[in-house]
């Protein structure tokens, strides 16, 4: 019965009862009723205004449910019984999934009370006819037929959870799609044989590996083989729904099967990797079940869909925000504003999805401006076990998907041993995502035929479960039998099996003969022109004329725009600042962004509070009292590249992963993520270790992501002083990334521009200042930005360019400590024979530039590395052996000056900090 008929014909006493419940608690009734009653209350409200006093009085007309005229159709049905039947229908919709037949190995467990007696009904009423209310089925049926209809729809091999959805439109759409078909699809013979082909390929591949590579880890898909036909169906449905690109993230379980039987990576390539041979990655490479692949898939309806599986580490779920960032990047590039052409597909393990906090962070991004990708399709590979932990040990909720309730999205729980139900569920999930642009999940409940890996014995820890699994037939076997019972010619089935077996044998022989294998993995999305390494010194300066034009735009705020007075002044005074030759840090940053935008390079800046800046230094987005916004960097010219700046959620791990993913798919965009304080970036340490620092070496994946990490000791305590420079330096090798600690606005300008001017793409880890943002000496002249100027990895002398080549003591520093030493040095009545060197880029280590700086210093007797960080932190541990090698020919050794080693980065007491800082500076000038 259609929803518009429901309130015309449903039992009126029942409506009155439900309305009373609604008044007590609006959430206690079905969303359909809640929506109706909200409108009903508006309609009942009468407003009277006393014209003399202006007093407003609201009254509601009496309830009219019971007084309404009932149709003769209803007169033959007892009112109480009809309302109970409606309640039963609503209970099935809400709780039916709890009684669905979902586990292939656990049998059906009835958890919800959906029996007649719970609702005050009796077996003698089974053949009595009742109206079905809003049910998308027969208008009127016997109670027996209604229950049968509901059992088929909600308690079969697909259980549907939608109680967390708030929008009535979504609920009714789902109910219509589910109830009108009894929650099933019809498949023609070709479709059934297609499902079998994918099932057989999945099973045969696993068995082939098991027999030919005995004992080797492969993290098989067995027990969830249905995932392969599901993924094919998903791609088919996505193509029908207008999807052009799908970015896929998944862990190691079943990955080899997906690579070969979905993405089409040749069996031969996998067999070669089992033999331990490399696959062309320059670097350390990775195990075969972490590698990525991409392909073009031509659907049955002749639609072309690009499918890309991202490489990932063993750190479960860590890849998810990376995929989201890649999707968002492509949506921006393609102008996919309705979020329909590019979608994410995330495959999760049940224990990992419930257990890993990054999933909550990623879901929290789903409706945030700057991160919203129009919904992810989640497939939960639910084998009902973790490594050895069983389901009740891996979560505190009924389902692993319960986290998704925060996103208000539907979940389809499906029995993995019913491939047709699985295909139906995943097609419906894609359809929902495309229509409502929200997350959706399919929880595929199966089992794991072997242990966590193929060398593991699961019966040690789960003997009861594995006694069942050992005797349980594969889904391929049961579906084959089903097809034969349906009258399918066995010869047609045999053709499929022979074809798959021959392909496995043929490609195995090629791998044994070490024949070359052709892979389709070709660069896309602008990577074609990117090289592995660019060591050229690229000019990053900009013409004076262009910079003058940019400054004029940056200093302009429309007169009618009601900006905060101080913020307006901040921008409008930039013209005079530019003319006075005193460009500060934030101004230099805006000049770098603007010059890139005017050259056709988009810029994205993301992070907590980054629009204003943690230290109120940036103010990129002006806000008026009426809510309007003005962004000068978006008003440079009509043909400029787009500029994006987004305040992120209070998360480091997922947001950094998102921006890393964005950079992966957009090499010609400057992508920067800023930590609120550099100290907090270690909340994303696993992303830094396993993607940013090592992605190139493991998987040949380049990224130009910039990490802006406020760093510096100013007495703010152990959590607001150190970005842990030492950790990033420890990760440096094989030219995998760049680490810098700039001290001049001009160098900051150049290093940002260099990220996109260079022909390679390496992550840039940049220690950024806090107190130096407004330091009177931390300014640069205009000419330092002009054409033919470059980034300078080493700076010698004072900030005015004065040098002391006759010095006997050389102080080598990086970062803020330089200005502390310089000011103390200049305050001395007589300047001692001291020279200063700033290392602006710590990695790659600028050995050549340091040697050039040392060349004229022939009187140096001692070289001291000065840092404000503790001895076991900061740059000392990294630079010491490098400086030692440089100084060897002079017979000198670098000495250390800084805080002593400690467990905590800094003291929490301001007076202690001041004393320690003064001691370091004093010893630097007087000698150790």
Task: Decide if pLDDT at 630 tops 90.
Answer: yes
What single DSSP character describes residue 649? P
Same domain, 737 and 802: no
Last residue within a domain, chosen from 785, 818, 835: 785
The pLDDT of residue 3: 41
**Is there a domain that residue 94 lies in?**
yes
Task: Decide if pLDDT at 393 tops 90.
Answer: no
pLDDT for 323-380, tens place per residue?
999 999 999 999 999 999 999 999 999 999 999 999 999 999 999 999 999 999 999 9
The pLDDT of residue 465: 85
Give the confidence band of 874 by pLDDT, cuts at 50, 70, 90: very high
Same domain, 396 and 443: yes
pLDDT for 163-207, tens place per residue?
999 999 999 999 999 999 999 999 999 999 999 999 999 999 999
Give the confidence band of 799 by pLDDT, cuts at 50, 70, 90: confident
**Is there a domain that residue 55 lies in?**
yes
Last residue within a domain, chosen from 496, 515, 534: 515
What single DSSP character describes residue 311? P
CA–CA dist 704, 114 (Å, integer) = 57
The pLDDT of residue 384: 86
**Is there a domain that residue 207 lies in?**
yes
Q: 455 or 427: which carries more pLDDT confidence? A: 427
Within 8 A by CB and 6+ apart from 204, the residues are 497, 500, 501, 504
Give the confidence band of 9 by pLDDT, cuts at 50, 70, 90: very low
Task: Decide if pLDDT at 14 tops 80.
Answer: no
The pLDDT of residue 41: 59
The pLDDT of residue 71: 46
Same domain, 470 and 595: no
The pLDDT of residue 39: 57
Same domain, 262 and 337: yes
Query: Could you tell me what percent of the chain has a pLDDT over 90?
Result: 78
The pLDDT of residue 57: 57
pLDDT for 673-708, tens place per residue?
999 999 999 999 999 999 999 999 999 999 999 999
**Is there a domain that residue 271 lies in?**
yes
Give the confidence band of 522 by pLDDT, cuts at 50, 70, 90: low
CA–CA dist 723, 49 (Å, integer) = 63
Give the confidence band of 51 by pLDDT, cuts at 50, 70, 90: very low
Task: Decide if pLDDT at 72 tops 80.
Answer: no
**Is there a domain that residue 521 lies in?**
no
**Is there a domain that residue 59 lies in?**
yes
The pLDDT of residue 454: 72
- Mean confidence (pLDDT) of the chain: 91
Task: Decide if pLDDT at 634 tops 70.
Answer: yes
Task: Decide if pLDDT at 830 tops 70.
Answer: yes
CA–CA dist 417, 478 (Å, integer) = 8
CA–CA dist 106, 117 (Å, integer) = 27
Same domain, 234 and 252: yes
Query: How far is CA 566 from its chain centroid?
Result: 37
| CA atoms within 13 Å, Cβ hemisphere of 44 | 14
CA–CA dist 496, 498 (Å, integer) = 6
Task: Decide if pLDDT at 43 tops 70.
Answer: no
Q: Widest CA span of the chain, in angstroms?
A: 112
The pLDDT of residue 729: 98
Task: Decide if pLDDT at 481 tops 70.
Answer: yes
Q: 524 or 859: which carries more pLDDT confidence? A: 859
Instruction: Give the total number of structural domains in the chain.
Output: 4
Same domain, 142 and 263: no
Task: Decide if pLDDT at 75 tops 70.
Answer: no
The pLDDT of residue 67: 42
Domain carrying residue 96 = 3-179
Same domain, 154 and 301: no
Instruction: Please state the rounded mean pLDDT for residues 22-39.
Output: 71
Same domain, 781 and 809: no
Give the confidence band of 523 by pLDDT, cuts at 50, 70, 90: low
The pLDDT of residue 392: 78
C-alpha separations of 781 from 547, 591, 771, 785, 786 in Å: 13, 13, 20, 8, 10
pLDDT for 94-110, tens place per residue?
999 999 999 999 865 66
The pLDDT of residue 6: 41
Indicate the SS3 state at residue 344: strand
Task: Decide if pLDDT at 470 tops 60.
Answer: yes
Same domain, 771 and 835: no
Last residue within a domain, chosen from 785, 812, 838: 785
pLDDT for 361-377, tens place per residue?
999 999 999 999 999 99
The pLDDT of residue 491: 97
Q: 877 or 61: which carries more pLDDT confidence? A: 877
CA–CA dist 27, 33 (Å, integer) = 10
Give the confidence band of 905 by pLDDT, cuts at 50, 70, 90: very high
* Residues 26 and 34: beta-carbon distance below 8 Å: yes
The pLDDT of residue 36: 66
Structure tokens at 771: 């107190």
Task: Decide if pLDDT at 394 tops 90.
Answer: no
CA–CA dist 742, 819 (Å, integer) = 12
Same domain, 86 and 216: no
CA–CA dist 744, 783 (Å, integer) = 13
The pLDDT of residue 64: 47
Give the confidence band of 4 by pLDDT, cuts at 50, 70, 90: very low
What single DSSP character describes residue 793? S
**Is there a domain that residue 574 lies in?**
yes
Within 8 A by CB and 6+ apart from 801, the residues are none
User: Model pTM?
Assistant: 0.91
Please list the residues that pair with 866 across neighbouring strands: 897
Same domain, 272 and 337: yes
Same domain, 781 and 798: no
**Is there a domain that residue 576 lies in?**
yes
pLDDT for 255-275, tens place per residue?
999 999 999 999 999 999 888
21-35, 287-301, 392-406: least confidently modelled range: 21-35
Task: Decide if pLDDT at 479 tops 50.
Answer: yes
CA–CA dist 833, 835 (Å, integer) = 7
DSSP 835-853: EEEEESEEES--HHHHHHH
């Amino acid at each position: 019965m259609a929803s518009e008929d429901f309130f015309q014909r449903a039992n009126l006493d029942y409506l009155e009862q439900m309305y009373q419940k609604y008044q007590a608690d609006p959430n206690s009734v079905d969303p359909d009723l809640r929506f109706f009653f909200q409108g009903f209350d508006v309609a009942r409200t009468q407003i009277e205004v006393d014209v003399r006093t202006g007093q407003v009085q609201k009254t509601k007309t009496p309830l009219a449910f019971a007084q309404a005229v009932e149709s003769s159709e209803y007169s033959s049905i007892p009112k109480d019984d009809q309302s109970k039947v409606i309640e039963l229908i609503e209970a099935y919709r809400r709780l039916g999934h709890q009684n669905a037949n979902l586990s292939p190995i656990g049998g059906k467990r009835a958890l919800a009370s959906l029996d007649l007696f719970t609702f005050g009904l009796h077996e003698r009423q089974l053949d009595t006819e009742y109206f079905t209310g809003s049910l998308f089925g027969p208008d009127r049926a016997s109670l027996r037929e209604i229950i049968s209809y509901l059992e088929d729809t909600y308690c079969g091999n697909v259980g549907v959870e939608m109680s967390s959805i708030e929008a009535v439109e979504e609920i009714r759409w789902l109910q219509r799609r589910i109830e009108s078909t009894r929650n099933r699809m019809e498949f023609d013979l070709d479709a059934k044989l297609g499902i079998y082909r994918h099932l057989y390929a999945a099973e045969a591949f696993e068995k082939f590996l098991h027999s030919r590579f005995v004992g080797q880890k492969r993290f098989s898909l067995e027990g969830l083989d249905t995932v392969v036909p599901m993924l094919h169906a998903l791609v088919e449905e996505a193509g029908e729904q207008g999807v052009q690109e799908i970015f896929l993230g998944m862990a190691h379980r079943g990955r080899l099967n997906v690579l070969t039987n979905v993405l089409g990576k040749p069996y031969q390539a996998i067999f070669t990797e089992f033999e331990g041979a490399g696959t062309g990655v320059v670097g350390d490479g990775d195990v075969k079940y972490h590698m990525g692949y991409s392909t073009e898939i031509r659907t049955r309806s002749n639609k072309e869909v690009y499918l890309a599986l991202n490489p990932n580490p063993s750190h479960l779920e860590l890849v998810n925000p990376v995929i989201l960032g890649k999707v968002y990047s492509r949506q921006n590039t393609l102008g996919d504003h309705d979020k329909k052409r590019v979608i994410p597909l995330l495959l999760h393990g049940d224990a990992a999805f419930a257990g890993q906090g990054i999933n909550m962070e990623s879901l929290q991004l789903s409706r945030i401006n700057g991160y919203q990708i129009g919904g992810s399709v989640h497939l939960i590979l639910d084998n009902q076990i973790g490594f050895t932990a069983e389901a009740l040990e891996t979560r505190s909720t009924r389902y692993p998907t319960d986290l998704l309730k925060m996103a208000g999205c539907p979940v389809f729980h499906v029995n993995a041993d019913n491939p047709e139900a699985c295909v139906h569920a995943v097609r419906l999930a894609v359809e929902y995502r495309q229509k409502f642009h929200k997350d959706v999940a399919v929880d595929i409940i199966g089992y794991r035929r072997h242990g966590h890996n193929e060398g593991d014995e699961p019966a040690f820890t789960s003997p009861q479960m594995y006694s069942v699994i050992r005797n349980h037939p594969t889904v391929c076997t049961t579906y084959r039998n089903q097809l034969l019972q349906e009258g399918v010619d066995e010869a047609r089935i045999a053709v499929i099996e022979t074809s798959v077996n021959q392909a496995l044998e043929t490609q195995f022989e090629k791998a044994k003969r070490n024949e070359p294998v052709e892979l389709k993995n070709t660069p896309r999305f602008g990577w074609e022109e990117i090289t592995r390494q660019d060591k050229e010194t690229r000019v990053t300066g900009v013409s004076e004329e262009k910079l003058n034009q940019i400054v004029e735009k940056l200093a302009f705020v429309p007169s009618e725009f009601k900006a905060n007075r101080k913020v307006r002044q901040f921008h409008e005074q930039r013209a005079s600042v530019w003319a006075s030759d005193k460009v500060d840090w934030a101004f230099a940053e805006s000049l770098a962004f603007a010059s890139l935008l005017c050259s056709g390079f988009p810029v994205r800046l993301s992070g907590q509070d980054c629009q204003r800046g943690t230290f109120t230094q940036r103010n990129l987005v002006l806000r008026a009292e009426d809510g309007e916004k003005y962004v000068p960097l978006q008003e440079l010219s009509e043909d400029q590249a787009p500029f994006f700046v987004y305040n992120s959620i209070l998360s480091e791990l997922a947001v950094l992963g998102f921006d890393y993913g964005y950079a992966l798919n957009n090499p010609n965009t400057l992508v920067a993520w800023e930590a609120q304080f550099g100290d907090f970036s270690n909340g994303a340490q696993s992303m830094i270790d396993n993607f940013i620092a090592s992605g190139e070496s493991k998987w040949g994946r380049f990224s130009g992501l910039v990490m802006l990490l406020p760093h510096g000791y100013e007495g703010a305590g152990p959590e607001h002083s150190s970005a842990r420079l030492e950790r990033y330096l420890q990760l440096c090798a094989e030219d995998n990334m760049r680490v810098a600690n700039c001290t001049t606005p001009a160098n900051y300008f150049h290093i940002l521009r260099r990220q996109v001017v260079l022909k390679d793409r390496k992550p840039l880890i940049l220690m950024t200042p806090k107190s130096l943002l407004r330091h009177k000496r931390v300014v640069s002249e205009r000419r330092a930005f002009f054409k033919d100027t470059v980034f300078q990895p080493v700076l010698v002398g004072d900030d005015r360019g004065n040098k002391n080549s006759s010095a006997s003591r050389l102080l080598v520093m990086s970062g803020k400590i330089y200005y502390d030493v310089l000011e103390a040095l200049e305050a001395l009545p007589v300047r001692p024979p001291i020279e200063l060197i700033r290392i602006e880029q710590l990695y790659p280590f600028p050995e050549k530039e340091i040697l050039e700086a040392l060349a004229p210093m022939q009187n140096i007797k001692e070289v001291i590395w000065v840092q404000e960080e503790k001895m076991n932190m900061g740059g000392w541990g990294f630079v010491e052996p490098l400086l030692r090698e440089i100084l060897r020919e002079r017979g000198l050794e670098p000495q250390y000056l800084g805080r002593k080693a400690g467990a905590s980065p800094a003291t929490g007491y301001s007076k202690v900090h001041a004393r320690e800082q003064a001691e370091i500076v004093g010893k630097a000038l007087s000698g150790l």
